Structure 1
């Protein structure tokens, strides 16, 4: 294999942090150093001001040539074929301001903004046409702080193949002359000046064979994108899909996971409450009402609602209390806004003993003309609740969109693009499939270290400060008897609690207005003003 020495671009701030001797060698090795620019004396003797002035001159000189080089390698997207694919990826939600793309400045970047930038940087989509230009569709939206291990988006993406298998193929938008020019001239598929080998090392020019023109291998989408994405977003797989495939509407069901410890909770009571969620119910009292969406039907079908132990409690060292970790698995054909976090919040109230599991049955019993019977023998008829009680939903940190499930006829997940010659080298590369597992394993290993450190902090604090009394779950083994005006720490998930000395039963709390009233007020107010603005924009 031929080794090519690539030019190195050096920045002022970087070089000023480098020791003088090494700085001199770096400058000599960089493309910014030529014999005509050689210093009359060693850089070690230069003043800081002289070095900064020289480096800025070199940066300007290098920047001009780099800009010309980059402009010469810009992709003419109109002359490129496209195919439709689906991408499956995971992300750490606490690092981002939610999944969905946001216009303008945001405190934290969104996952879709970062992912689209990576697609544009690798020249797989046309940045000028944006999300609409590539037919971007997501499976399910997640809020700020919520993570995913199996989110899916579908989009039209640039391809190296002249005619990929299946109907999901768009030829170049240019005429036959442009098409022939594209086929005869090798594509320059470089990603950027800083990552000039991110695409080039996995494509090669077409070559003549006894059967005509040999096709170049397809882009290795997974490794290409993981090379430029932050470690908190990882592409797991991709699949060719049909031209009418929709990541949102083709999904059969979505599976969420919510993690929690058993501190202050009776898990068996929570399991009783979770069983009442199965089947199709009206979940208007277990979601956030958003009048802008004008939802009139709140019926959703739950396929799975189970609580299981993830791992046993660690050994009790240094007097630190140990509780096992549990996960609530919830799968359904569709979900309402913040539905999972509202359900978990009510399950926590049930787990503390402050609410009976039958409260779930009451919250989904909204139709006065067709009321629910008791869920099981011995229970009274559930109360009809057609307006939502006021309560706080669970924390976002422990929530994960685990998977988006599709029919096998619609997707065929894969990690590479199927070319044996390319895959052999890909397995050895920094962002190959094997190293992806190493990266995820490394993140898991670091999180275990943080867990151990935080456990030691807790042990250190308990040497001087005794833990507060625990009254939850009410009547639980080893739990203090509930006394008047006792401070209750009601779990909200993620290590957060709502403290109160007076708990008001859920069905006795203030209620929100009926959803029909809220929807009508929005239509007459913000909705009508929005429609008027859209009408004006359309006339212009």
Structure 2
């Protein structure tokens, strides 16, 4: 698939710089087209396979995965690929497939990440093999070096590295012999951060083997979900969370995607803990604590984390007992679970999912994608002692990612302080509405008082209701086998028919 370079995702500063550059080029009389404006010959340069670790603010994007056609919000992969194409690290004409693009884990719209990982083949500045994977240039060419003073050449990574001179053949006879000097590798981190928006930051890169897969080499994934204690009994939530540990069938705690035709919903959870964020004291304006739910597992199902958090919120409000978690993972009638602990009844077998709303995506973060040390070796620079690239400033300010993220964090703290003042000002005139939640503390029976229940969904969102139906008494969805079969006989069959129209020999 072809991914054209687009101005849609450029920042204001980048657009202004580009306009100035074009104006300057237009006013120069008799100037010839620069080599950097010509088609870039990717075949003339070597390639290597690397992994990129990066963070992004999910609320600014329509999800991680690339989407074809127009989208209301850009996706993270669209923006990242555009940056790779602008820096001439990948060939935009060959698209994602052409560079062997693989992601560790997909995140939905609104979900952020502090440690997402992709693996791909990129242009290299090395003249000889270095590291676990290397492809020499497909052909040698005599190339005129682009002007290193132009903005385009900087975007292409040639302001410092000048790749156009790497494979020029032939040396004039009267030229003195020049001692060869091993060229350093391209500064992948700073090159990309110069052209990416501040909401996406490359943190590190690693050389990887040719058969490395950022998805399948991942040992575990670590998610974080942030929430406040408003209306919640955190102790009850911790009781529910510890029932997630181990291998369970999570069909009732995920969203079913029949297109994937999943038949086994067993996943292993390694850690499920709720703790105070950095031991911070309660918010002075609301008296609420900020907590984080850490969930670590070897693999996850579609929307699994948000479903789990939604049920933990129901437990925290007192509307559900922690044992509901045990019932929801007790999905196999042939191997039913015993009582989780002494004094509890035998959990109900639940082989079809009850209807309920999953938690809001805003507070969810993919914190870490973990790999074996033998597979990756994360670094920021290329290790060249003469390089001071990380100290240089680009269009987004200092190229040091710590400075950039610290600036973002400082501004967010100021926004938080100002919003707290708005709340304080409003409370001088309007009293906060009484809440019956959590029931474990108020002792109020909402059914007898016809009370309005503000059931938290995370991220400051709530579901308002005056009638609560216990989770296991709600309408159940169809069994996954029925849903999968309907898809195979409907949309799946039509999809296969379209494939045969395009390629009649596809099944042969």
TM range (shorter): 0.7 to 0.9
| Deviation (angstroms), 1:188 | 4.0
1:311-332 alpha-carbon deviations (Å, 9 max, x no partner): 434453xxx3220100000010
Which residue in the other structure is 2:471 paired with? Answer: 506
Q: In structure 1, the residue corresponding to 2:497 is in which secondary structure?
A: helix
Which residue in the other structure is 1:418 paired with? Answer: 383
Is it true that 1:262 corresponds to 2:223 in the alignment?
A: no
Which residue in the other structure is 2:183 paired with? Answer: 216
Is it true that 1:528 corresponds to 2:493 in the alignment?
A: yes
Query: How far, CA to CA, are the matches of 1:121 and 1:64 in structure 2?
Result: 27
Query: How far, CA to CA, are the matches of 2:474 and 2:176 in structure 1?
Result: 77
Is it true that 1:443 corresponds to 2:401 in the alignment?
A: no
Q: Which of the pair has more CA radius of gyration? A: 1
Cα 1:473/1:197, change in 2 over 3 Å: closer
Query: How far, CA to CA, are the matches of 1:357 and 1:282 in structure 2?
Result: 17
Cα 1:501/1:195, change in 2 over 3 Å: farther
Give the root-mean-square deviation of aligned CA atoms: 2.8
Cα 1:237/1:254, change in 2 over 3 Å: same
Name whichever of 147-156 and 213-222 sits farther off: 213-222
Name whichever of 448-457 and 141-150 sits farther off: 448-457
1:368 to 323, 333, 339: 333
Which residue in the other structure is 2:365 paired with? Answer: 400
Compute the TM-score of the two structures, normalised by the length of structure 1. 0.83
Name whichever of 68-77 and 116-125 sits farther off: 68-77
1:64-111 alpha-carbon deviations (Å, 9 max, x no partner): 968x32665532011211000000000000000000000000000000
Q: In structure 2, the residue corresponding to 1:329 is in which secondary structure?
A: strand
Cα 1:303/1:315, change in 2 over 3 Å: closer
2:154 to 190, 196, 219: 196
Is it true that 1:383 corresponds to 2:341 in the alignment?
A: no
Unaligned runs of 5+ in 2: 1-11
Which residue in the other structure is 1:328 paired with? Answer: 293
Which residue in the other structure is 1:453 paired with? Answer: 418
Aligned length: 478
Q: In structure 2, the residue corresponding to 1:418 is in which secondary structure?
A: coil
Cα 1:264/1:315, change in 2 over 3 Å: closer
Query: How far, CA to CA, are the matches of 2:204 and 2:416 in structure 1?
Result: 30
Cα 1:293/1:91, change in 2 over 3 Å: same
Query: How far, CA to CA, are the matches of 1:440 and 1:63 in structure 2?
Result: 43
Cα 1:65/1:268, change in 2 over 3 Å: farther
Query: How far, CA to CA, are the matches of 1:31 and 1:520 in structure 2?
Result: 57
Contact 1:308/1:326 (CA < 8 Å) preserved in 2?
yes
Which residue in the other structure is 2:71 paired with? Answer: 106
**5 Å matches for 1:265-276?**
265-276=232-243
Query: How far, CA to CA, are the matches of 1:533 and 1:447 in structure 2?
Result: 49
Which residue in the other structure is 1:4 paired with? Answer: none
Cα 1:190/1:511, change in 2 over 3 Å: farther
| Deviation (angstroms), 1:164 | 3.1
1:188-207 alpha-carbon deviations (Å, 9 max, x no partner): 49697456376233215569
**5 Å matches for 1:87-166?**
87-166=52-131
| Deviation (angstroms), 1:186 | 6.8
Unaligned runs of 5+ in 1: 1-12, 18-29, 33-54
Query: How far, CA to CA, are the matches of 2:287 and 2:21 in structure 1?
Result: 58
Contact 1:387/1:513 (CA < 8 Å) preserved in 2?
yes
Contact 1:470/1:480 (CA < 8 Å) preserved in 2?
no
Cα 1:217/1:433, change in 2 over 3 Å: farther
Is it true that 1:346 corresponds to 2:311 in the alignment?
A: yes
Query: How far, CA to CA, are the matches of 1:103 and 1:499 in structure 2?
Result: 36
Which residue in the other structure is 1:40 paired with? Answer: none
Query: How far, CA to CA, are the matches of 2:390 and 2:43 in structure 1?
Result: 29
Compute the TM-score of the two structures, normalised by the length of structure 2. 0.88
Q: In structure 2, the residue corresponding to 1:150 is in which secondary structure?
A: strand
Query: How far, CA to CA, are the matches of 1:189 and 1:520 in structure 2?
Result: 60
1:100-156 alpha-carbon deviations (Å, 9 max, x no partner): 000000000000000000000000000100000000000000000000000000000
**5 Å matches for 1:302-317?**
302-310=269-277, 311-314=279-282, 316=284
